Amino acid sequence: MKIAIVGATGLVGNIMLKVLEERGFSAIDLIVVASSASVGKKIKYFEKEYEVIAVEEAINKKPDIAIFSAGSETSLKYAPIFAENGCFVIDNSSAWRMYPNVPLVVPEINASSITKETKIIANPNCSTIQMVMALAPLHNAYKINRLVISTYQSVTGTGVKAVKQLENEIKGINTEMAYPYPIHKNLFPHGGSFLSNGYTSEEQKLVDETRKILSDNSLRITSTVVRVPVTGGHSIAVNIEFENDFTIDNVRKLLSEMHGIIVLDDVANNSYPMPLISEGKDEVFVGRIRRDESNPKSLNIWIVADNLRKGAATNAVQIAQYLIEKAFVK
């Protein structure tokens, strides 16, 4: 089986290769792809070195699966070409997410939306993935009416340049700016680009993608995205208003039974999710589970996950595993 990683030298691309190794993809014919600036570089995978090639050369190699993490422009241009050659494309950018005929997939929730004829599959936004992991079982049980979302997003969500900015600011070194302001000892309510309605593109993704993944366009959702000086993962505070009432014990039970979720909710012992706990892990951590006493049938929860793993690379690799398990590729 041939698997291509398009954007293999990037922050998420590197994690994708790591996750593939961890999950035992040793017998594949790996194709590592990046921009012209990286062509010829060597990448080690299972103790073997692979040379980075250009995307045009990768197309000619006819991979069975291509996992893209190279930005929307690259995905829009090249994903259809790979797909026309019979390749399954799993795209980590926002390029294809809202196309009606492209499934937006979190495998634990809606893997069944993928068919053998589905050649382009969208990987959701990192914050959306971790949030819907917790929302899906609760929506099934109580029917969500409204969500008020506040995210606290790691600089790793912006990329290598942002991580370098934070590291250099901590050291007191003048640096190239990924953000319009310093991020060390600071935070700002700005993720993505501002839209005409005053929200940002990252905030709008949370609205649109959540509705699509949960198959419910009636959901009322508002969100605020905040960038924080953290490298370990994203954190989300969610206020949920349900159609039906709930008990806290049953909420904990539903979340604990959801594959891929770990409930950390023992406030008597200061046990709750934090980026330090999630870093390097594939699970989504949920805690601070409590009734909203200001509004009937409402709940507050706190969700943390490593945005480079479950929020990006791991989710994409899980989709590839699903394709293999269903014998869509052999």
Q: Which residues are catalytic?
A: 126, 234
Residue in 81, 82, 121 with CA at minimum distance from that of residue 102: 121
Round to whole Å and give the CA distance between 257 and 263: 10
Q: Rounded to 5, what percent of the chain is helix, strand, coil?
A: 35, 25, 40
Three-state SS sequence of 13-78: HHHHHHHHHHCCCCCCEEEEECCCCCCCCEEEECCEEEECECHHHHHHCCCCEEEECCCHHHHHHH
155 DSSP 8-state letter: G
Q: 248-257 vs 126-142: helix axis angle to the nearest 10? A: 130
Task: Please give the C-alpha separations between residue 232 and each of 152, 165, 250, 274, 305, in angstroms, as whole numbers.
Answer: 11, 15, 30, 9, 8
* CB-based burial label for 209 (10 Å; 0-12, 13-18, 19+): buried
Number of H helices, E strands in the chain: 10, 13
Decide if 179 contacts 158 (C-beta within 8 A): yes
